Structure 1
Amino acid sequence: MFWFQQGLCFLPAFLVVWSSSTFIISYLIALFREDVDVIFPYISDTAANPPESCIFGLMTIVSAFAGTSTIYARYKFVEKLTEDTAVIRPRLNQFVLVLGLLSCLGMCIVATFQETTLQAVHDIGALLFFITGVLYTIFQTCISYRAYPYGSSLSVCRTRLCIAILAVVAFFPTLICAFFVKQSTLHRDKYDEDYPYHVASAVCEWIVAFSFVCFFLTYIHDFKMFTLRVKTDYVE
């Protein structure tokens, strides 16, 4: 049996590979078509024009569904730990589930409403994705430590803590510097007055996005330990 056939570890593995490919493919296509600059465009800039916008939208929707499945599976895993050990409060687990689902909803909004069509809606989706996503990593890290030694190893807990801290540290410059960016063009000049803010915001945005990817990567070992089954009851 291959490692990805153990338990449900194929879920986070697929999510990590697919999400990374989404960011990279849209960036490479936009770069090849000269729609964006080589140095540090916003993630949304790489998906502003067709055909990359179409590919980004489709792949992001798939990522959102994969993320929803992975987040729900994690919720059921923690729920099982709660039944057996009573180390995690069910309400905390439910709250974190809602955060994760809201983050996936934000991904769907970002994928559907490009920044060049409805920027206000796009920005709302991006804020929803980043804010709830960062909170999700924080609370899941807390759950991991509270559940230890059940579920995750200490090294995995520490890895999640480092990723969560990185996401939090990078999130604030992403948001703050974006307020000082006055231009909305896809091509930037390094002599623009707001160019340093653009670079800082864009770099931190990529860091936050890939910190989410790395966080789900830590689920792979945990997901080897369980499976989910659907039970159907027929009532006459």
Structure 2
Amino acid sequence: MLWFKQGLCVLPVFLVIWSSCTFIVAYLIALFRHDVDVVFPYISDTGANPPESCIFGLMTFVSACAGMATVYARYKFVEKLNEDTRVVRPCVNKVALWLGMMSCLGMCVVATFQETVVTDVHDAGALLFFISGVSYIALQSVISFSAYPYGSSLGVCWARTGVSGIAVLAFFPMVVCTFFVDQTKLHRDPEDEDYHFYLTSAVCEWVVAFSFICFFLTYIHDFKLFTLRVNLEYQM
């Protein structure tokens, strides 16, 4: 059997590839149309104007759905693992589930409300996405160590911790610097007063976003080990 057909590993594989394409395709289209600058635009800037806004919105929504499926599958895997080992508290697993779902909801808001049209709602969705997402991967790192050696290998546990640590370190300057940046401008000039805040915030945003992608990449081996089935009960 081909490796990507084993268990449910197709879920994180699809999520990683599709999310990467979402960021890159929107960026390349916006760059080709001169809607953004070459050097580190905000991710949302690449999906602010049509037609890239339509593509960005659709692809981000698909990523959010794939993210929800992956987060739920991970929750069920830990739940099943916990039936025999009792190494992870059920409440911790549920908190991780809800954090992951809220992060995906934030993605949907970001995809639906462009930053140049409905800025406040877009920013609220982005904040929900990043806060919940960073909290989710940090908590999953803790869960991975708690479940060891029944779940992931020690190397994978440390890889998740490293990725989540990078995301946490990049998250704080991203948020702080954002407050000093004019969010409605798509083109930046190095002479602008807020340029250095903008550049720091944009770089950190890309770092956090791709930290999420790298984190879900570590799920691939775990997802080879299990499948999910739906039981239908018909009542007359």
Shorter chain as normaliser: what TM range? over 0.9
The residue aligned with 2:36 is: 36
The residue aligned with 1:143 is: 143
Whole-Å Cα distance in 2 between the matches of residues 116 and 215 of structure 1?
30
Whole-Å Cα distance in 1 between the matches of residues 148 and 183 of structure 2?
48
The residue aligned with 2:112 is: 112
**Which structure 1 residue ranges, 4+ long, deviate > 4 Å from structure 2?**
none
Given that 2:167 and 2:208 are in contact with CA atoms closer than 8 Å, whether structure 1 keeps it comes out as yes
Give the letter aligned to residue 223 of structure 2. F
Give the letter aligned to residue 96 of structure 1. A
The residue aligned with 2:7 is: 7
Map residues 1-236 of structure 1 onto 2, 5 A cutoff: 1-182=1-182, 184-236=184-236
The aligned length equals 236
Give the letter aligned to residue 143 of structure 1. I
Give the letter aligned to residue 110 of structure 2. V
Given that 2:8 and 2:226 are in contact with CA atoms closer than 8 Å, whether structure 1 keeps it comes out as yes
Whole-Å Cα distance in 1 between the matches of residues 126 and 204 of structure 2?
14
Give the letter aligned to residue 138 of structure 1. A
Question: Residue deviations 1:94-139, cap 9 Å, x none?
Answer: 1110000000000000000000110000000000000000000110
Change (3 A) 1:136 1:183: closer
- Aligned CA RMSD, in angstroms, stands at 0.7
Q: SS where residue 133 of structure 1 aligns?
A: helix
Please, which runs of 5 or more residues in structure 1 have no aligned partner?
none
Q: SS where residue 150 of structure 1 aligns?
A: coil
> Displacement, 1:232?
1.0
Change (3 A) 1:183 1:211: closer
Whole-Å Cα distance in 1 between the matches of residues 143 and 114 of structure 2?
35
Identity rate, percent: 69
Whole-Å Cα distance in 2 between the matches of residues 89 and 178 of structure 1?
36
Whole-Å Cα distance in 1 between the matches of residues 89 and 81 of structure 2?
10
Q: SS where residue 181 of structure 1 aligns?
A: coil
> Displacement, 1:184?
2.6
Give the letter aligned to residue 184 of structure 2. S
> Displacement, 1:183?
5.8
The TM-score normalised by the length of structure 2 is 0.99
> Displacement, 1:182?
3.4
Change (3 A) 1:16 1:183: closer
Question: Residue deviations 1:55-93, cap 9 Å, x none?
Answer: 000000000000000000000000001101011111111
Please, which runs of 5 or more residues in structure 2 have no aligned partner?
none
Given that 2:116 and 2:184 are in contact with CA atoms closer than 8 Å, whether structure 1 keeps it comes out as no
